[in-house]
Amino acid sequence: KAGVTQTPRYLIKTRGQQVTLSCSPISGHRSVSWYQQTPGQGLQFLFEYFSETQRNKGNFPGRFSGRQFSNSRSEMNVSTLELGDSALYLCASSLGPSGGANEQFFGPGTRLTVL
Partner 1 sequence: GQQLNQSPQSMFIQEGEDVSMNCTSSSIFNTWLWYKQDPGEGPVLLIALYKAGELTSNGRLTAQFGITRKDSFLNISASIPSDVGIYFCAGLTGNQFYFGTGTSLTVIP
Among 24, 36, 48, 74, binds partner 1 (CB under 8 A): 48
C-alpha closest to that of 70 among 32, 114, 113, 21: 32
Report if residue 22 touches partner 1, rule: CB under 8 A.
Answer: no
Interatomic CA distance for residues 109 and 56, integer angstroms:
20
- Dihedral sign, Cα of residue 88, residue 47, residue 66, residue 30: positive
Looking only at the bridges linking them, the beta strands covering 110-114 and 10-13 are parallel
> Which residue from 33, 36, 68, 72 is in contact with partner 1, where contact means CB under 8 A?
33
Residue 103 interacting with partner 1 (CB under 8 A): yes
Which residues of the chain form contacts with partner 1 (CB under 8 A)? 4, 6, 33, 35, 42-43, 45, 48, 55-56, 58-59, 90, 92, 97-99, 101, 103-109, 111
